[in-house]
Amino acid sequence: MNYDSLLKIAYQEALTGFEEGGVPVGAALFDADGNLLGRGRNRRVQDNDPSVHGETDAFRKAGRQTNYRDKILVTTLAPCWYCSGLIRQFNIGTVVVGESENFAGHLDWLREAGVTVVEMDDERCKALMRRFIAESPHIWFEDIGECRHG
Ligand SMILES: [Zn+2]
């Protein structure tokens, strides 16, 4: 599987989110052959909805699937607890992570559940998120549920 070509789709979503003024996390769900089932992005800012993360958006757009064990969820940033819970709840077999430098996520918790985690350490994903955190730290800390006073 060419994970880089799958990651490009998630990255395009993240870039669109960035251009919209939103949190630049994009994701896409694929079947075992790499066919796209759904794609989406974090729309906390755009829709005033903190429950729309990249992963949940792609997951919902893909609609009902009978089995998730053979599916591949690609995300530009390591999944938060909310999205990690979704991955475990539906037994998604493979998670491709664009980067885990700006946010480490809970990748060991996924691996413990038998999820195959592929870390891409992608420079484009890292640079986009770094830029967003530098320009909009208040939105970022709101998104990851951390209160920063002062
Ligand atoms: Zn999330």
Domain boundaries, the chain: 3-142
Q: State in Å: Cα 9 to ligand 1 middle.
A: 17
Distance CA 3, CA 20 (A): 26
- pTM for the full predicted model: 0.95
Measured in Å, residue 82 CA sits from the centre of ligand 1 at 5
Predicted pLDDT of residue 58:
98
The residue-averaged pLDDT of 120-131 equals 98
Does the structure show a pLDDT above 70 at 54? yes
Residues identified as active-site: 55
Mean predicted lDDT score pLDDT of the chain? 95
User: 42-48 — which CB contacts under 8 Å span 24+ positions?
Assistant: 42/17, 42/143, 43/17, 44/139, 44/142, 44/143, 45/20, 45/21, 45/139, 46/17, 46/20, 46/21, 46/22
What is the model's pLDDT at position 44?
96
| Cα of 34 from ligand 1 centre, angstroms | 22
What CATH architecture is 3-142?
3-Layer(aba) Sandwich (3.40)
